[in-house]
Chain A
Amino acid sequence: MKHRYHLPQPRKFYFNTLLTFVLSFAFLFSYAEVDKAAWNEGKALFKGNCAACHNPKVDGTGPALMGVTARWEAAGDFKGKTGKQWLYTWIKNYDDAVKGGYKYAADMLNSRPANMNVFASLKDADIEKILLYVENPDAYGAPTTTAAPAAGAGETTGGTKAPSASLYIFVFFLIVLVAILIGVTNKLDKIIAEKDGVPQVAKVPFYKRPNFIVALCLIAFVYLGFKTVDWGVSLGRQQGYQPTQPIKYSHALHAGKHKIDCQYCHSTAYTGKHANIPSVNTCMNCHKNVTKGPQYGTEEIAKIYEAVGWDAYSQTYSKPQKPVEWVRIHNLPDHVYFNHAQHVNAGKVQCQTCHGPIETMEEVYQYSPLSMGWCINCHRQTEVQFASNDYYSGFELLHQKLKNKELSKITVENIGGTECQRCHY
């Protein structure tokens, strides 16, 4: 290799220029061949069916797929089918290809620890489009990362919208106008008085008048009192709390864009007290393959690998593990018992009811006040699954009341959901 440093400069220059030229042309031509509509369809199909295990360029659970058509074709014809046809068979149901006796298929099966899924529903045309995308993943640029700066990022409260600045300016203008007008009328009064010869009494400024002082004190007392109580009540409440998390995990991307079900990760919300923060192995179900994110590239995903001890090179969990220290956002006092299964499973409450538009949150914040009044309010208004859940079949008195139209619906309150010891024990 050493001698390359002694190559004359011009030659190197020419060589590079030539190479660039040739490659650019090659790309131009090859891109020109790709049908954009089919490519887009193929990409969508790939994301929907294959991306959990495959990546066009990188080995994951499944092999990197770029060049797959060529590889299968190179494996040769068999039983009157071309390599490409065998590939189609394999994609639909890998087992058919193996049982068909195609050796390359058998080799593929043995080369990987996990078997491929069966995609019986894919038509040949679909597979064609997928392969079009797989072979030319960058034909229409890398996957777009410009997906609009996530809504709500940097916003710290989920509360009411602040009035616009123009409104303030308008109010200020009005106040100034009123002050000027008062000044003008006073001046005019004075002129008229002088003209009429009315004797001038030295005027006490308004802010020295006892009425004003009393009124001001009263207002100040009421205002400060209100503020004190308001502040006292809000002690320990954290609505809008949005701490910085150790990993810049985006719910907007996962739950919003990719529509991953909340309980895929927070699986114990349905069965247990806590809606668990997923253990890192759950992340690895996808991120074994998805090694690059749209916003932070590999940086944030690398933190998952570090936590779980994943060695991307050897594809093994061989490194030391380091748990992720997330900052807990939703904190209830110790004397409150809250059970997710009760609400999510038994009550069929949507996650968003309490957690807000989580699918749009780039960084999660506490949407609800989590105050007792807020809980009770919901318990008063929300209907229980009275008819559909057989548990309530023994609640004869309430069934009777429904029948007699004494009650139009059974709310949580009707079954005792606002009593102290439903949450405090």
Chain B
Amino acid sequence: MAEKNYWKGIEEKEQLEGFRQIAVKEFRDELPVLSSITEPISTGKSNRRDFLKMLGFSVTAAAVAASCEMPVRKSIPYVWRPEDIVPGVANYYASAFYQGGDYGAVLVKTREGRPIKVEANKLSVVTKGGTSARAQASVLSLYDGARYKSPKKGTEAITWETADKEIGEKLKSIAASGGKIVIFSSSIISPSTKSVIADFKAAYPTVEHLTYDGVSYSGILDANEKTFGKRAIPSYNFAKAKVIVGVGADFLGTWVSPVEFSANYAENRRVSADKKTMSRHIQIESVPTITGYKADTRIAVKPSEELSALVDLYNVIVGGGAAANAKVGKAAEELKAAGAGNALVVSGSNDANAQVLVNAINNALGSYGSTITWDRTYNTKQGSDKSLTALVDGLNAGTVKAVLFYESNPAFTSPAKGFAEALKKAELSVSFANRLDETSAACQYVCPDNHWLESWNDAEPKTGVFNTVQPTISKLFDTRPFAETLLKWSGKGGSYYEYIQKYWEKNLYTKQSKYSGFWAFWDNSVHDGEVVLPASGSASFSGSSVADAVTAVSSAASSFGDTQVKFYESIAVGDGYWADNPWLQELPDSVSKVTWGNYIIASPTWMVKNGYNLDPDFKEKIYAVAQLTANGQSVELPVVGVPGTPEGVFGVAVGYGRTAVAHDELKVGANVFQLLSKSGDNFTEIAKAEISKTAKTEKVAITQTHFNITMQDLGGIKTRKVVKETTLKEYVKSVEDKRAYSAGNEDREHIMEELVTLYYKHERPGHHWTMVVDLNTCTGCSACVVACNAENNVPVVGKDQVIRAREMHWMRIDRYYTGEVDNPDVVFQPLMCQHCDNAPCENVCPVAATNHSNEGLNQMAYNRCIGTRYCANNCPYKVRRFNWYDYQQADAFDKQYGTSNDQNVASETLGLHEPLTRMVLNPDVTVRSRGVMEKCSFCVQRLQGAKLDAKKAGRPLADGEATTACQTACPTNAISFGDRNDKNSEVLKQFNDSRAFGVIEEIHTMPNVLYLTQVRNRDEEKKYDVIDYYHA
């Protein structure tokens, strides 16, 4: 019997020497303490004396420390306790997150008046109870030490009175002389803020509001204006589509509204015995994305071929002709065969002509009115690339005298040349940034806005869907909401809170009929966080511009040459807005598994041909650096091979290389916005490129080879069943045959038969916590990883420590490849502690610091742990993490270690141990100190909390009441969690599903986490390299 070979990277597939050296060890470094003791032996010096010295010192130190008096702790109650605050009990406030282009309807968890966690708002019609990694991480930015603490003039702190007076006078004089005042912002989704800007315009008639988004959707907006007469993005319904073709659009990761689309997409990707159909997803893309990796069929093409694929699709679907690319032609036939209204084509191109083509294709497929609707359009993307050019030209020509930057950082995100010089010509430049960025550093004045968690605001992410944003903490610094500042300068003054209420009373209250008094309407809106007014929009297609667009796209597609680069938005840092967030910097990219910085994505095949070493020292992770030139600009970045990238194609993420950040550790990667070139009015993400290898090398903090559980020395994939997959056809057949173990999972029958044990069976008198993860709907978006960080006080360790495989994430998303290197199949697998009922870690702990609870939890008692690390060594899943340093400075011995050696600890250098930043810590979870082991606890604090709530109310625990952080963060509900002893629980149903299997359960660990097999909706045969089960 032959098995598919799964591998995490090319180094594992080929079992390269560098990889093998580290893969066999649990801990790749020698113990530093051993080396210091063994060294003197080699030099012939006595180490007995050193030992005695150390012993003497430690005994004395311990004695001195122990004789210290107990500190006197104060307990200071409120003078007037706010009615709704019970110390030790969390409050949740509905709000809306909209930062750096990312939107989410959320609940903010606060403890004693400080926000510590963002949860999804399950009522939301937009984000549908999911969140993104960025929304989860945004709470850390609230406590960022780099936030502006008062208004500033240059580098000098000033008062608001001074700022108002000086700026007000300048504005007046500029307006009087007829000079233009530009408000330059990213897309504003707050209707009240827009109204405030209109008021500002009334006060200063020369005001012009320009909108520009760092990651631009200008192309699609322009195209919709041309073909529908509306400059907006319509709603997409991925759940309704039976055939989805994505052309370079990462709609599960970053494109337009990824959280919403993921939820939507997963709806029709979930299969079970009751639902035997799923959508067919074909992705045509160059640089791999999670969307492409999730697709049933991924057609790997060059970036320019993404454009020609659109022409092909157009020719087949609209023109009835033939396709140049046969694979694309087949996709087009499938789209046609799906029937009217059942297909959907999306493209991520920022070329307006390409998007006109997409509209024509969708129109021909009958998608409009079915899978695409104009009843609600997105307000989250309104930017125009023309705005940037207009600003730079205006400043240079001297017509624009004053410029005010709101939620916009063009000094970093501008692809247009000469922005910095142009900005210097402004008579007045003001930034409203709440923390340090490149633009605010270059402005004359900074009038810091509140953080979103500190302010009242509103939001209209899609037309007719309104959110309230409410403050969850009193403002930390001397900041003022942007809108209030504008109101002040308009001469109106007043509070923005009242302004919003007035706006809502006038514009929203009148359009609804549910509530008969405004205050009832307002209070309920704030409580729910969302108001949905009836949808009303419509638009009809006009094909007049299509013919020109076809010609333009065809000629554009042929102009990029052989070597091409595609600039993409990463899930973690977006357009760079999040590059100063340590949680997101340390989040491994779902595709490349790289943390801390950007890099050039290249084809491993190309790398071999061009002399790049695929087998660097994986202990040091030294990668060759190449110089990439596009649009007349060059950057030097390390080259990382990513399977699925075609030869001659390179990908670089924008958003890295920020320079105006508070800590050097955050200045990672290179800014590539300047490499973007123009196509028509818009900056296009594709460019003709040149690449040349340099002699330089750079360390890349890639986690791909860390915590490897398919080690070949242990039999590799032969004996270790980690992921399982099948095709829809086979799955349906096995379900119809009523097989207990469905297709792809047949071997479990044998495994379960062999479940014989010498141990007595554990009793589970109360609950039996169980988790089931559906591999079919997990998209690898990583929201769960950041949610876990926030919930469980998981420390940030920094680039240096990640290189040493010491990242502390309690859950990781393993990404398994199978098949050809140039176009592999991919399975994402979130892996956390499996809470084995027969846990190998428990047997080897000499102090019983890890043991089992009667609810099936594998418990970890930090205060009992002495740090032998035997458990980590014995864990077959490699999910245990050791605190090599006191990453969060939990110990009384402050700064017991220095950073004088090369072992930089980011928590210290990033200031994460500062009292301000520590406010983000969850008070219910112990902050671990140096020398102890930690791992996923199934969010035991949340389970205990849910149990207590039930006990207090004197009722049984309801299904779905106890949740884990990863589960609630997941946009696709891929994670189910609950009590297996509850006969009616959802998790039990899934646990008994024919698709359920445990990772390497054949070694009889009896994990309490099961996975559901991945099901692919495709018929075509693919080539796999296989390992012969019995003969290898």
Contact = CB atoms under 8 A, between A and B. Distances in A.
Given A394-B982, A398-B765, A335 B86 contact: no
B88 A421 contact: no
B855 interface: yes
Contacts of B954: 388-391
A328 interface: yes
Interface string B841-872: 00000000101011101011111100000000
A273 interface: yes
B75 A326 contact: yes
B763 A342 contact: no
Contacts of A415: 765-766, 854
Interface in A283-342: 307-309, 321-328, 331, 333-335, 337, 339, 341-342
Given A339-B88, A419-B853, A280 B955 contact: no
Contacts of A414: 765
* Interface-central residue, A271, A279, A328, by most chain B CB under 10 Å: A279
Interface stretch (B165-173, B555-563, B937-945): B937-945
Interface stretch (A68-76, A136-144, A235-243): A235-243
B534 interface: no
Interface in B69-102: 70, 72-81, 86-89
A273 B87 contact: yes
A422 interface: yes
Given A279-B80, A391-B951, A391-B956, A416 B66 contact: no
B527 to A, nearest CB: 21
A375 B956 CA distance: 26
A295 B30 CA distance: 68
Contacts of A339: 88, 944, 948
B862 A341 contact: no
B926 interface: yes
A397 B853 contact: no
A268 B87 contact: yes
A276 B763 contact: no
Interface residues on B, range: 35 or more
Interface in B33-58: none
B733 interface: no
B86 A326 contact: no
B957 A280 contact: no
Contacts of A282: 81
A328 B76 CA distance: 9
Contacts of B981: 394, 396
B137 to A, nearest CB: 23
A243 B853 contact: no
Nearest to A236: B70
B952 interface: yes
Contacts of B951: 342, 345-346, 389, 391
A38 to B, nearest CB: 42
Nearest to A398: B765
A274 interface: yes
Nearest to B852: A419
A337 B89 contact: no
B78 A421 contact: no
Contacts of A388: 954
B924 interface: yes
A147 interface: no
Given A334-B926, A421-B861, A394 B957 contact: yes
Contacts of B1026: none
Contacts of A337: 924, 941, 944
Nearest to B923: A273
A335 B926 contact: yes
Given A276-B87, A390-B956, A424 B80 contact: no
A170 interface: no
Interface in B313-371: none
Contacts of A326: 74-77
Contacts of B764: 397
Contact of B77 (A272, A279, A346): A279
B76 A335 contact: no
A391 B955 contact: yes
A415 B947 CA distance: 12
A125 interface: no
A325 B863 contact: no
Interface in A370-398: 388-391, 393-398
Interface string A236-258: 10100001000000000000000
A345 B81 CA distance: 21
Contacts of A393: 956
Given A327-B72, A345-B952, A391-B951, A276 B77 contact: yes
B940 A425 contact: yes
A419 B88 contact: no
B16 interface: no
Contacts of B953: 391
A93 to B, nearest CB: 30
B535 interface: no
A425 B936 CA distance: 11
A424 B862 contact: yes
B533 interface: no
Interface in B727-773: 763-766
B948 A342 contact: yes
Contacts of B78: 279-280, 323
Contacts of A276: 77, 81, 86-87
B927 interface: yes
Contacts of B397: none
A346 B948 contact: yes
B72 A273 contact: no
Contacts of A280: 77-80
A316 to B, nearest CB: 14
Given A278-B77, A335-B926, A346 B952 contact: yes
Given A328-B74, A337-B941, A424 B79 contact: no
A277 B956 contact: no
A281 interface: yes
A420 interface: yes
Contacts of A236: 70
Contact of B75 (A271, A277, A335, A342): A277
B950 interface: yes
Contacts of A333: 863
A420 B80 contact: no
B926 A274 contact: no
Contacts of B80: 279-281, 308, 321
B157 interface: no
B24 interface: no
A272 B944 CA distance: 13
B925 interface: yes
A331 B73 contact: yes
Contacts of A341: 948, 952
Interface in A330-368: 331, 333-335, 337, 339, 341-342, 345-346
A105 B940 CA distance: 61
A273 B859 contact: no
Contacts of A422: 853, 944
Nearest to A417: B854
Nearest to B857: A421
Nearest to B78: A279
Interface in A26-43: none
Nearest to A237: B70
B72 to A, nearest CB: 6
A275 to B, nearest CB: 9
A420 B861 contact: yes
Contacts of B66: 235
Given A274-B87, A279-B79, 9 more contacts: A281-B80, A327-B75, A335-B926, A342-B948, A391-B954, A394-B766, A414-B765, A419-B859, A421-B940
16 contacts: A268-B86, A273-B89, A323-B77, A334-B926, A339-B88, A339-B948, A389-B951, A391-B953, A391-B957, A414-B765, A416-B853, A420-B849, A420-B864, A424-B862, A425-B926, A425-B937
Give 5 nearest A-B pairs by CB, closest first. A273-B88, A279-B81, A346-B951, A421-B859, A328-B75
